[in-house]
Amino acid sequence: VHIVESGGGLVQPGGSVRLSCAVSGSIFSAYTVGWFRQVPGKQREFIARISNGGPTDYADSVKGRFTISRDNAKNAVYLQMNTLKPEDTAVYYCNTAVPVWPWGQGTQVTVSS
């Protein structure tokens, strides 16, 4: 399985960014997939997940601001991030909701003015 996350960058507080994750080498549609994030010195934390049928779940810290979606035809999962805060600064990763795939390199999101 190969995972490639993209779409990160430098964003001003209050801004938006959309992350993408492309997965190859797995039966993508069979899995509930999710986004995670990690800052230096801290454990990777769960952000959001979406099942194959579409139900979603979010961490309280991002609920109402982030939206996860998926495109099974493209083996891709997305994270729309709105109303960004400096505390959202992290490296963002995608994986199965209970991580079983090898981690990708992630994509850095920096929220700063």
Q: Are 31 and 75 in contact, with CB atoms under 8 Å apart?
A: no
CA-nearest of 107, 102, 99 to 20 is 107
pLDDT in tens for each of the 113 residues of the chain? 999 999 999 999 999 999 999 999 888 888 999 999 999 999 999 999 999 887 999 999 999 999 999 999 999 999 999 999 999 999 999 999 989 999 999 999 999 99
Name 31's Cβ contacts closer than 8 Å, sequence gap at least 6.
Answer: 52, 96, 97
Per 3-state DSSP, what percentage of the chain is helix, strand, and coil (rounded to 5)?
A: 10, 50, 45
Q: What is the DSSP letter of 25?
A: S
